[in-house]
Amino acid sequence: QVSLVESGGGSVQVGGSLRLSCVVSTHTYQYKRACMGWFREVPGKAREPVAGIGSFDHATYADSVRGRFTASRDNNEGTLYLQMNDLRPEDTAIYYCAANWRQGYYCSSPLFLPDEYGYWGQGTQVTVSS
């Protein structure tokens, strides 16, 4: 059973930075092939995509975070990252990482929608105050 554990959330002021991590408990062979993603959710709203990243570090971003957030992965450590800069109050949310696999193949193109992912972490809270 694959598990995902996020960390790095916290409270920052507007314009600050945070770096989220997500450790995936699977063999390196499997992790390299995973499509990975970051999502966020606020109470009363649907979970929204933040970033999706494929096996070879190519990523896609939501318009609201492009240029401020950077997703990356360490395939040897089985870890996904989200560097968040220039944080705004509207970035306040619970952030989740997610994973999915395409029948053993490398993830050649990132997945972006929540329904495309089968494995989720428990979430980490990010709060941005003005």
What's the pLDDT at 104? 73
What's the pLDDT at 96? 98
Banded pLDDT at 67 (limits 50, 70, 90): very high
Check pLDDT > 90 for residue 74. Answer: yes
Give me the percent of the chain exceeding a pLDDT of 70. Answer: 100
What's the pLDDT at 93? 98
Of 49, 61, 51, 52, the closest CA to residue 34 belongs to 52
pLDDT (tens digit per residue) in 6-61: 999 999 999 999 999 999 999 989 999 999 999 999 999 999 999 999 999 999 99
